[in-house]
């Protein structure tokens, strides 16, 4: 009989000093899923193994685990002959494969994950599908937190960075034409600018939602159109330097975009750039900058 060899993460913070891995052999069956392996271990080998699941049909998002180094939905991922099954990283462990998602749930609650209306129409609203372009795929999100586990910025835990799953929920409301709440401040409070646009959230999503382009970038554009946030200021200064000088002078770009109170924290980075001769203290211009201005004017870029 064919078998599955599963090496499973085990840890109970209330009893164990440190995590460990235990290996189990489970009979392989055709079309077997990771969840089937876990249930077989729990029923036939160790009743104390803790893991979450509910719908068993890729709808609730509760069964997310790490299998062979990538986030998957246990109810949908096909079982492999050899597997290492671990809890989602970046989250506190309650027991074994069960993680505590309360911190992210609080963040989601903090962005007002519902439509805010200034007034209610007296009759049925007429809405056009074109007003909801790009929002349809965001509605598929089941909040399984796979994207959070793959996000490198969540791993570094920079500042108040909320993470891709929270930004999907924020985008679903902020980009809805019926929403009446000004959510720019919420976008800024959750440190959207710390996203490094690496597409890890897209690659890890079990539904392949383009979180970066359909949620995060659109929220960035929303802030930029309202001239809110550091990246909006950075973009504006970047474009102006290109248009008037033909190239970027990093020192002057930083002086125009970074707050004086933050200069000290950037001194070490500045010193490294100077040593590598990447920064010049002299404002530079290229000789053919008039042609660049003409290109800007021809493409309709704002002055």
**Full set of structural domains in the chain with CATH:** 3-98 (3.10.20.30), 102-117+131-225 (1.10.1060.10), 230-299 (no CATH)
CB atoms within 10 A of CB 125: 8
Tell me the pairing of strands 70-73 and 64-67: antiparallel
CB atoms within 10 A of CB 48: 10
- Residue 250 in contact with residue 201, Cβ under 8 Å? no
CB atoms within 10 A of CB 42: 15
Containing 103, the helix (H) or strand (E) segment is: helix 102-110
pLDDT band at 226 (very low <50, low <70, confident <90, very high): confident
Angle between helices 230-245 and 289-299 (to 10 degrees): 130
Task: Please give the pLDDT value at position 300.
Answer: 64
Q: Please check the confidence at residue 60 and state whether its pLDDT lies above 70.
A: yes
Strand partners, 7: 23, 84
Tell me the pairing of strands 20-27 and 98-99: unpaired
Q: Please check the confidence at residue 244 and state whether its pLDDT lies above 90.
A: no
The pair of structure tokens assigned to 112 is: 């007002």
Task: Please give the pLDDT value at position 285.
Answer: 62
CB atoms within 10 A of CB 162: 25
Task: Please give the pLDDT value at position 122.
Answer: 79
Q: Please check the confidence at residue 236 and state whether its pLDDT lies above 60.
A: yes
Q: In what order do the strands lie in the sheet with 70-73?
A: 20-27, 3-10, 82-86, 64-67, 70-73
Q: Please check the confidence at residue 253 and state whether its pLDDT lies above 70.
A: no
Question: pLDDT, tens digit, for every residue of 63-92?
Answer: 999 999 999 999 999 999 999 999 999 889
CB atoms within 10 A of CB 135: 17
Distances 201 to 51, 98, 166, 167, 219 between C-alpha atoms, Å: 23, 21, 12, 11, 16
Q: Please check the confidence at residue 144 and state whether its pLDDT lies above 70.
A: yes
Task: Please give the pLDDT value at position 303.
Answer: 42
40 contacts: CB under 8 Å, gap ≥ 6: 26, 27
pTM: predicted TM-score of the whole model, two decimal places: 0.76
Lowest mean pLDDT among 36-50, 176-190, 219-233: 219-233
Task: Please give the pLDDT value at position 127.
Answer: 83
CA distance 290 to 49: 69
């Amino acid at each position: 009989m064919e078998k599955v060899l599963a090496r499973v993460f085990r840890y109970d913070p209330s009893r164990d000093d440190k995590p460990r891995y235990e290996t189990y052999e489970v009979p392989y069956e055709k079309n077997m899923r990771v969840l089937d392996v876990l249930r077989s271990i729990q029923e036939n080998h160790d009743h104390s193994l803790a893991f979450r699941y509910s719908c068993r049909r890729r709808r609730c998002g509760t069964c997310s685990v790490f299998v062979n180094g990538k986030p998957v939905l246990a109810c949908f991922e096909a079982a492999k002959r050899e597997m290492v099954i671990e809890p989602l990283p970046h989250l506190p462990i309650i027991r074994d494969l069960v993680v505590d998602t309360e911190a992210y749930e609080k963040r989601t609650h903090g962005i007002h994950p519902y439509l805010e209306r200034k007034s209610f129409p007296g009759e049925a609203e007429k809405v056009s599908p074109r007003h909801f372009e790009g929002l349809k795929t965001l509605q598929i999100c089941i909040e399984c937190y796979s994207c959070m586990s793959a996000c490198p910025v969540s791993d570094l835990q920079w500042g108040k960075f909320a993470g891709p799953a929270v930004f999907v929920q924020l985008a679903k409301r902020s980009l809805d034409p019926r929403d009446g709440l000004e959510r720019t401040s919420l976008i800024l409070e959750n440190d959207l600018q710390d996203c490094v646009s690496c597409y890890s959230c897209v690659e890890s999503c079990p539904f392949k939602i383009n979180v970066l382009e359909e949620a995060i970038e659109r929220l960035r554009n929303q802030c930029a159109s309202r001239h809110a946030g550091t990246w909006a200021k950075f973009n504006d200064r970047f474009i102006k330097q290109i248009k008037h000088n033909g190239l970027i002078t990093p020192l002057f770009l930083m002086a125009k975009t970074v707050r004086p109170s933050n200069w000290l924290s950037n001194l070490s980075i500045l010193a490294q750039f100077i040593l590598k001769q990447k920064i010049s203290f002299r404002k530079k211009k290229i000789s053919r900058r008039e042609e660049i201005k003409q290109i800007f004017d021809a493409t309709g870029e704002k002055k």
